[in-house]
A and B are shown apart, each in its own frame.
Chain A
Amino acid sequence: AQSVTQLDSQVPVFEEAPVELRCNYSSSVSVYLFWYVQYPNQGLQLLLKYLSGSTLVESINGFEAEFNKSQTSFHLRKPSVHISDTAEYFCAVRPPHNTDKLIFGTGTRLQVFP
């Protein structure tokens, strides 16, 4: 069975500083990997995903994540955060070739301070 661990429940950071949100997963099979973001009082939105191919994937708002198979990780990074990045970030996995449930981590609250 798959599981997802997000070790950091909260990450406080000042505006324009770099940030890394950690995600580790366990699975006996290959998986698709996702990062979703939940802004205050809004629903979950897909931020980026890894399905296959290049291990580095990017979002349109400057976030990137790198799939590391040997470390079973999919950490999310941004070189310079904005106040507007304040949100809850969820890492999720799903086995490929099967439209099945997403397994989510417990989330990381990113709080960006001016």
Chain B
Amino acid sequence: GAGVSQTPSNKVTEKGKYVELRCDPISGHTALYWYRQSLGQGPEFLIYFQGTGAADDSGLPNDRFFAVRPEGSVSTLKIQRTERGDSAVYLCASSLGPQGETQYFGPGTRLLVL
């Protein structure tokens, strides 16, 4: 079946602009995660959704970052007033939910803030 998909694959924006990154999880997966991977680092957790609600948003770096999952499937990560330090690969993952041990990752969105 189809895996996790993310769009766009690449995004170049200017400092101060607003961006939206989209994630389509595997069908039937109720848990969805966002991670950020900076160059030379491992992925760092941002936010976790169980269904429509954010169960854990402790990884969001500041209030410029926000994510939604209004229907419990597709999720959008929103970044306001982008800064150069936001440049990274943003990864989305999904799992079956409370009984799912394995997170399946999408290919990521590479964000470059100029």
Contacts of A94 in B (CB 8 A): 101
Contact-residue size bin, chain A (C-beta under 8 Å from the other chain): 20 to 34
Also in contact, A106 and B41, with CB within 8 A (given A44-B91, A100-B48): yes
Contacts of A32 in B (CB 8 A): 101
Q: Which of A42, A92, A99 contacts B98 (CB 8 A)?
A: A99
Also in contact, A43 and B41, with CB within 8 A (given A49-B101, A100-B56): no
Contacts of A103 in B (CB 8 A): 45
Digit string of B77-113 for contact with A (CB within 8 Å is 1, else 0)? 0000000000000010101011011111111100000
A101 engages B42 (CB within 8 Å): no
Interface size on B, residues (CB 8 A): 27
Contacts of B48 in A (CB 8 A): 99-101
Q: Is B44 engaged at the interface, CB distance under 8 Å to the other chain?
A: yes
A106 CB to nearest B CB, Å: 5
A43 engages B44 (CB within 8 Å): no
B44 CB to nearest A CB, Å: 7
A: which residues have CB within 8 A of B? 4, 6, 32, 34, 36, 42-46, 49, 51, 90, 92, 94, 96, 99-107
B: which residues have CB within 8 A of A? 31, 33, 35, 40-45, 48, 50, 56, 59, 91, 93, 95, 97-98, 100-108
